[in-house]
Structure 1
Amino acid sequence: MVGNDPSVKGGMTSVIVQLLSYDWDAHGIHMSFIPTYIEGNPVRKVLFFAKSLLHIRKQLKRFNPHRPDVVHIHMSYRGSFVRARIIHQMCKCANVPDIVHMHGSEFSKWFSSCREKKQRQIREFLSEVNRVIVLGDSWKKRIQSIEPDTTIQVVHNSVKIPELDKINQWNNTTFQVLYMGVLIKRRGVSDLFDAVAMLRDDNLLGNMRFIVAGTGSEEVLLKDKVKKSNLEDVVHFTGWVNGDEKALLYQESQAFVLPSYNEGLPVAVLEAISYGLPVISTDIGDIQAAVHDGENGIIITPGDISALVDALNGIHQSSKEPKEHGRSKKRRKRSR
């Protein structure tokens, strides 16, 4: 298996770490991992990848006793596609089957922005790899629209269900709403802060508090927006979290929010559901495969800040009824 180094932040890494922790030996499978990407300056990235290619080339040699039966390639888009294509070509030359596991929710958007030559390379790549894994049915349709000859397998993201004593318990003191993930523009966190400001202006915040767990290119801008909007008393940034620290945030929260503009089916959404949290999410990708509007969460349209306000207020109000734990009522019309 090849892909991001575990130190890289993001959903792809979460899946890689999950696969690395699985007991493959119990099924008679030996799985080794070669990281091909690490965060840092361009020179560091290139040198890291070059070193990885040497390792991969050694593994693919015909007389290597540990030569793999299959190579599992994790891929997003842009530079990730370039790296995956090089590794695919190495596998092709060595006559070793390869699987491409796609994670980039904006792959089709990126494909549309590419020049014709690059698009031909992408279509050729998709048709040549032995299998392409996508995270949901909507992704399958998108990839098939790019290259109909792609051999596709839908494999939804999954999470380990926490033990019962770690499942969320309602907190009567603070109603904590959690966002977990990278801080980039398409995640819509700025919209969340607009909704929080509207809740405050309408005197609807009550004991609501918002935890933003993540880092990314928008972090400085988002922190500045919180400061300028005078929301520092209700919005707290934790930085990137993992392991027990992440689990504790889920346990201490009463709702999860993802106001994104483009997704597949994020691991964080599944983790939130596994901890019994109602999820407020936009209607994108394959979110509705896990979040059922009015049952275990509320689905809204991307960019509809007023609907986000209604959803937050609705779940906050329903939290006062113990029977609503992990569930939510359909959103109510907001009167102003």
Structure 2
Amino acid sequence: MKSKILVVGSSLKDMGGIVTVIRNIEQSNLTESYELTRVETYITGSVLARLHIFIVGLIRYLYQLFWNRPDIVHIHMSNGGSFYRKSMMVMIGKIVRVPIILHIHAASFDDFYNHNWFQKRYCQFILNRVDLLVVLSQEWKKYFSTIVPHRKIEILYNGVFKMEEQVSRTNSTPTCLFLGRLGERKGVYDLLLAIKKLKEKEVKSKFLLAGDGEITEVKQLLKDYQIEDMVEVLGWINVHEKEELLRKADMLVLPSYHEGLPMAILEAMNFSLPVISTYVGGIPELIQHGENGYLNEPGDIEGLTKSLEILIHDQNTIVTMGEKNRTLIHNQFDINMLMKELSHMYQRLILK
């Protein structure tokens, strides 16, 4: 008989990296050994839509706990409102004495944690109530070890389903892809400044920006910087469209200020793309500067421009770095391989 895992997280109809992680886990080989039941508590939309899904999710959560008791509750959590919503689930789960795994995906939990005295104390209270805290990288484990005992923290890297086919590209103009919410946190405004500098240097290239967010503001800056001929703003895209873009692009650029372990980077690596990003979150555990991509400090416009210019002008390096990334995915970030680690965590709590 399979052990029962109650998974709490965002709706799969929603967007973003957490949704991709939940979907990948549900489609992995983990389901061969465990019965996964999902309760959805959030979706992007109006206040009414968000309130409705949370209330329905809370009722379903209570039903599962009392009438279909799980062996483990696995909660996917970010910061902000997500933390407060999921903290209710944690406390209810502890009242009925079900083991709780809290899977932290927050990109800027440190800022959230230090916002004020009450929030800091509340975070400490909730995080120390769970049985296991799952984080996305060594860097985040080091950080959370200042809040929670080291023995209660485990690392589970995000993963993707490894591609067997090799992708080849024949773009006459090098194409750079940005995947993520358009806004300051993902560094899109820094990228626009870098593109402006590339145009001033007469570097021929094309940029595709895929994601929701501050689309109107970005389009206005394209006009202000006179780079409309170099940049296409695509808005939010579905899974199929994303795969087509990853096949088409020559590189991924994500100059973020805060990150956990971006699915966009892992997906780009899987499609044999080099990555230009920043020294934040778990990114340096994926990308080694000069080996399989280039990293700069957040806000370093000159460094970002230089990294882009180097790759745009060097097709051989694009191919070499891309192949290194594909190999890295196969060896370390294949979702089915990583699910063995999650299974060990489940068994540790079930047999406790």
Deviation at 1:154, TM superposition (A): 0.6
Do 2:183 and 2:189's aligned partners in 1 also have CA atoms closer than 8 Å? no
Deviation at 1:6, TM superposition (A): 1.2
Which runs of 5 or more structure 2 residues have no equivalent in the other structure? 1-6, 325-352
Do 2:292 and 2:321's aligned partners in 1 also have CA atoms closer than 8 Å? no
Q: Is 1:91–2:93 an aligned residue pair? A: yes
1:154-177 C-alpha deviation (Å, 9 max, x unpaired): 10111111231xx33132412110
Q: Equivalent residue for 1:284?
A: 280
Q: Equivalent residue for 1:105?
A: 107
Deviation at 1:262, TM superposition (A): 0.9
Alignment map for 1:91-170 (pairs within 5 Å): 91-114=93-116, 116-148=117-149, 151-164=152-165, 167-170=166-169
Q: Distance in 2 between matches of 1:36 and 1:287?
A: 28
- Aligned pairs, how many? 318
Q: Distance in 2 between matches of 1:251 and 1:201?
A: 28
Q: Distance in 2 between matches of 1:290 and 1:248?
A: 23
State the one-letter code of the partner of 1:170: R
Deviation at 1:308, TM superposition (A): 0.9
Q: Which moved more, 1:239-248 or 1:317-326?
A: 317-326
1:226-249 C-alpha deviation (Å, 9 max, x unpaired): 122121111011122232211111
Q: Which moved more, 1:41-50 or 1:319-328?
A: 319-328
Q: Equivalent residue for 1:22?
A: 28
1:41-71 C-alpha deviation (Å, 9 max, x unpaired): 223212221111111111111xx2x311001
Deviation at 1:149, TM superposition (A): 6.6
1:177-206 C-alpha deviation (Å, 9 max, x unpaired): 0011112311110110101110111112x2
Moved over 4 A (4+): 320-323
Q: Distance in 2 between matches of 1:323 and 1:210?
A: 18
1:242-274 C-alpha deviation (Å, 9 max, x unpaired): 322111111111011011111122011011111
State the one-letter code of the partner of 1:90: I
Q: Distance in 2 between matches of 1:172 and 1:40?
A: 37
Q: Distance in 1 between matches of 2:182 and 2:319?
A: 33
Do 1:108 and 1:143's aligned partners in 2 also have CA atoms closer than 8 Å? no
Q: Is 1:181–2:180 an aligned residue pair? A: yes
2:46 aligns with one of 41, 44, 68 = 41
TM (norm. structure 2) is 0.86
Q: Is 1:247–2:236 an aligned residue pair? A: no
Change (3 A) 1:144 1:322: closer
State the one-letter code of the partner of 1:200: K
Q: Equivalent residue for 1:313?
A: 309
Q: Secondary structure at the match of 1:192?
A: helix
Q: Distance in 2 between matches of 1:243 and 1:47?
A: 26
Deviation at 1:85, TM superposition (A): 0.8
Deviation at 1:130, TM superposition (A): 0.6
Which runs of 5 or more structure 1 residues have no equivalent in the other structure? 329-336
Do 1:295 and 1:327's aligned partners in 2 also have CA atoms closer than 8 Å? no
Deviation at 1:221, TM superposition (A): 1.0
Q: Distance in 2 between matches of 1:323 and 1:126?
A: 43
Q: Equivalent residue for 2:332?
A: none
Q: Distance in 2 between matches of 1:196 and 1:226?
A: 10
State the one-letter code of the partner of 2:75: I
Change (3 A) 1:270 1:121: same
After superposition, the CA RMSD in angstroms is: 1.8
Alignment map for 1:217-232 (pairs within 5 Å): 218-232=214-228
Q: Distance in 1 between matches of 2:118 and 2:319?
A: 57
Q: Equivalent residue for 1:198?
A: 197
Deviation at 1:124, TM superposition (A): 1.0
Q: Secondary structure at the match of 2:146?
A: helix
- Larger relative contact order (CA 8 Å, sep ≥ 6): 2
Q: Distance in 2 between matches of 1:71 and 1:304?
A: 41
State the one-letter code of the partner of 1:289: E
Deviation at 1:320, TM superposition (A): 5.8
Q: Secondary structure at the match of 1:145?
A: coil
Q: Distance in 2 between matches of 1:322 and 1:42?
A: 44
Do 1:178 and 1:255's aligned partners in 2 also have CA atoms closer than 8 Å? yes
TM (norm. structure 1) is 0.90
2:263 aligns with one of 264, 267, 270 = 267
Deviation at 1:289, TM superposition (A): 1.1
